[in-house]
Structure 1
Amino acid sequence: MMMTRSMLALAVFAISATAQSITIAAPTDGSTVTAGQAITVDIARPNTLSPSQEVSVAIGLLNCGKSCAGIDPSQRFGEILFAGPYAPTQQPSGPDHIDFYQNFTVTIPQSFAGSQASLNVAHFNLIGAGPFPNLETKNITLNFAAST
């Protein structure tokens, strides 16, 4: 009986954490950027029923060389482009659906070389009535155009 309750509590925590998960809404995976260019990184999270308190995000860029396949941003994060508070605001995103978004403008370093880079986001928030700390990482691949 006690083991069943523990497993149920663990499942509820896992579902709550998944419901609080962010996405990198922009730029899109596979976008082409130029060194020295300012880009907008749009970090979104869905509206949820469980309580949460947003704390912070960090945005990093990792040079992958020819391929970013298999990059794990929790192990290699790259050059930090932003680290600070995350306070998304509600924005309608479609019929009867509201997400929370915050935009960050970051500049791709002029010295950054390579044909691909992994844009990495680390997100920290507090979830539930307890609350419990939650840290997640997400990433997309960016392609580099020739500098102008």
Structure 2
Amino acid sequence: FFTTVAFAQSVEIGYPPNGASVPAGQDLTVQVVRPDTLTGSQEVAVVIGLASCTSQSCLPPNAVMGNILYNGPYNPQFQQPNLPPRPPYQNFSVAIPASWTKGAAQLNVAHFTLIGLGPFPFSETLS
């Protein structure tokens, strides 16, 4: 039961798309989407990191988050009612460090939430 409930609380990266190119020193909008669910939950936080993959293949985010671009509250909201329906999300404006090495990189997200009446803690990482 807990696996099904936890899966319903999972988030995804809505933006930027995979393969996007962002120059060093520029701001980037990262959209973290949480599909709508009937299970009660209390969002706690997300951490957004950027890991360089230029000298080796990218490690999974549960091994290395990389350079932390954001670490703080997560409060996904629905869009305004006159727009096409979408699941709740929150946009984060993060700065790519000016010293960032050009080449392949991986955007990583760690998500923390409390689920249900208990509540029980749930965490996940994704890229």
TM-score by length of 1: 0.79
| Larger helix proportion of the pair | 1
| In structure 1, distance between residues paired with 2:48 and 2:86 | 24
SS of match in other structure, 1:76? coil
Alignment match, 1:78: 66
How far 1:124 moved relative to its partner?
Answer: 0.2
Q: Distance in 1 between the 2:124 and 2:33 partners? A: 13
Instruction: Report the count of equivalent residues.
Output: 125
SS of match in other structure, 1:99: coil
Partners in 2 of 1:37 and 1:20 — Cα distance? Answer: 31
Structure 2 unaligned blocks of 5 or more: none
User: Which residue of the partner structure matches residue 53 of structure 1?
Assistant: 42
Q: Which runs of 5+ in 1 are unaligned?
A: 1-11, 140-148
Percent identical across equivalent pairs?
Answer: 49
* Structure 1 stretches of 4+ moved >2 Å: 66-69, 91-94
In structure 1, give the amino acid aligned to 2:39.
S
Distance 2:122 2:19 in 1: 28
State the structure with more CA Rg.
Answer: 1
How far is the alpha carbon of 1:66 from its aligned partner? 5.8
Aligned to 1:4: none
Contact 1:61 1:81 in 2 (8 A): yes
**Which of 80, 93, 113 is the equivalent residue of 1:125?**
113
Which residue of 40, 46, 52 corresponds with 1:63? 52
Name the structure 1 match of 2:29: 40
Report the CA distance shift for 1:18/1:30 in structure 2 as closer, same or farther (over 3 A).
same
The structure where strand makes up a greater share of residues is: 1
Q: Tell me, in whole angstroms, the C-alpha distance in 2 between the residues paired with 1:25 and 1:46.
A: 11
CA distance in 1, matches of 2:32, 2:111: 10
Specify the alignment match of 1:8 in structure 2.
none
8 Å CA contact 2:12, 2:34 repeated in 1: yes
Look up the equivalent residue of 2:10 and give its one-letter code.
S
Q: How does 1:1-148 map to 2 (within 5 A)?
A: 12-65=1-54, 68-69=57-58, 71-91=59-79, 94=84, 98-139=86-127
Q: Which string of whole-angstrom CA distances, capped at 9 and with x for unpartnered residues, describes residues 49-84 of structure 1?
A: 111000000011111106645x21011111111100
TM-score between the two structures when normalised by the length of structure 2: 0.92
Q: CA deviation at 1:98?
A: 3.9
